[in-house]
Amino acid sequence: MKDIQQHMQAFLERMVDEGRERGVQLAAYYEGQLIVDASAGIADRRTGQAVDGSTIFPVFSTTKGIASTVLHHVMERQGTDYDLRIAELWPEFGVHGKERATIRHALSHTTGIPHMPEGVGLAEVVDWDRMTAETAKLVPQWPPGERMEYHAITFGWIVGEIASRLDGRPFARILKEDICDPLGIQAELFVGIPEEAEARVAFLEEPGFDPSAFPATGLQAIPAWICPLADWMNRSDARRACVPASNGIMSARAIAKHYAALLQDGADGIRLLPESRIRLATALQDLPNQEPQYKGLGYQVGSPGSIMGGASAFGHGGYGGSNGFADPERRLAVAYVNNLYTPQSAGTAIIHELKKELGIAID
């Protein structure tokens, strides 16, 4: 597998040279072994700091896959059912028609509260207690379970608080102690970075940001005041907060190892969840009265043309192009992260090239 490491390293460097990427990392596990751990380009154009293996990148909604694993892990340990009502754990959530909302609804984006609470701003978003309280008070736009609509940011507080109420520890502590520490990735995967990690965070660029894509009025899943999202995640307060839907900061190597630990081969002999739980977590949750969205319980699942693979694949992508996924059929786990957000970003091309080198057909 030495040749594939060299090939993908050269391919990343080419994408940077062509201007499609500024800084990028790619990591892949195949049959339980790390076969690619490559990085190229510039982590911070202001200083010229190069990307290396210690660089960590904001990955936005790629965080959702990690957050989902945290909750599945807690539920597996405690034997919790996905159809448990959230209000039984979190009584404050059971108001305004959300009394019957379940953990399944939370993980499948069907609680009916994709919109951010009104009357909050950047100062409040970094306050876990304030945002979970405000999220609990939200009035659903439709009864839970009746419609699937992406909960871009509220997903994190809902899922994170459920995990915390079940377990008793704060979400970030569960993540560190149950996921990162066993896998040895505690210095590379965060939802809320410590101060000492700040210097390793890649600086994001989004030169073509279009503010018209984020309306300033009405119910908003991603409100205009938090945009450009790249600028928000270049702020220290945003980086150090815990927003499990959208502010994870990670290396590609750590994300890939997390997904490898969900496959049958494991990662360094470690499996985070048994096969029975993976089957439950990745079962398609799409509603019959809507267009297919290819969602499982917190993970996106494989679909025709998906970069992840076929129906057995699962993972999550993020704003700007980052991605992490597992493909059980191919025994493959992959992660890609970047810091230049443009339509020319090379993530799809990079993952296609990796699969081509492995002899894996694109579904």
Of these ranges, 188-202, 300-314, 349-363, the one predicted with the greatest mean pLDDT is: 188-202
CA 218/CA 205 separation, integer angstroms: 28
- CA-CA distance, 12 to 23, in Å (whole number)? 9
What value does the mean pLDDT take over residues 87-97?
Answer: 98
Question: Residue 305: pLDDT band by 50, 70, 90 thresholds?
Answer: confident
Q: Is the pLDDT of residue 93 over 90?
A: yes
Contact (CB, 8 A) for 22 and 55: no
Distance CA 176, CA 186 (A): 6
**pLDDT (0 to 100) of residue 48:** 97
CATH architecture of 2-358: 3-Layer(aba) Sandwich (3.40)
Which one, of 113, 105, 114, 111, lies nearest residue 81 by Cα? 105
* Coil, helix or strand at residue 175: helix
Mean confidence (pLDDT) of the chain: 96
Which stretches does DSSP call E strand in 14-56? 23-30, 33-44, 49-50
Structure confidence by residue, pLDDT tens digits, 107-147: 999 999 999 999 999 999 999 999 999 999 999 999 999 99
Q: From edge to edge, which strands make up the β-sheet containing 189-190?
A: 57-60, 248-250, 189-190
Q: Please say whether the beta carbons of 244 and 159 come within 8 A.
A: yes
170 residue type, one letter = P
